[in-house]
Amino acid sequence: MSHPVEPFELRIAVQPADIDRLGHVNNTVYVRWVQEAAVAHWRSAASPEVQASLFWVVARHEIDYKRPAFLEDEVIARTWVGSASRRAFDRHTELRRAADGALLARARTVWCPIDAQTGKLTEVDDEVRRRFSVPEESARA
């Protein structure tokens, strides 16, 4: 498993259902990709035991759309963890076109941990905090 500050990448092929009436990827699909990248990172870096005991829900998405993506494009979703408070974890994501590296969108998402048994907001142990957040000073650098 990689160090938590290293970005995680997910390759995505644009599908016909992703295209809107304007002929490019719909903005809501970008949000879906941001979430899919975060979930894929979680599944690749968290132990099966931790995954079974903890879920994450989105409290906030901030997304800046820079360029459109089109049907023939392959997209690289690059995500990395940011700072965290007691129960809110920042995650950053960039969506880039694989062919030319053009920035399509940039997002910041706030994720909150949920106890899988109670369904309630919870705190995480030190291991999860270490893997899925960086100290505030590192986040500003």
Residue 3 inside a domain? The answer is no
Q: How many domains does the chain have?
A: 1
Per-residue confidence in pLDDT tens, the chain, 141 aa: 344 458 999 999 999 999 999 999 999 999 999 999 999 999 999 999 999 999 999 999 999 999 999 999 999 999 999 999 999 999 999 999 999 999 999 999 999 999 999 999 999 999 999 999 998 655 555
Burial of 12 (0-12, 13-18, 19+ CB in 10 A): buried
CATH number of the domain bearing residue 72: 3.10.129.10
Closest listed residue to residue 54, CA positions, set 134, 127, 135 = 127
Model pTM score: 0.90
* Residue 17 forms part of a structural domain: yes
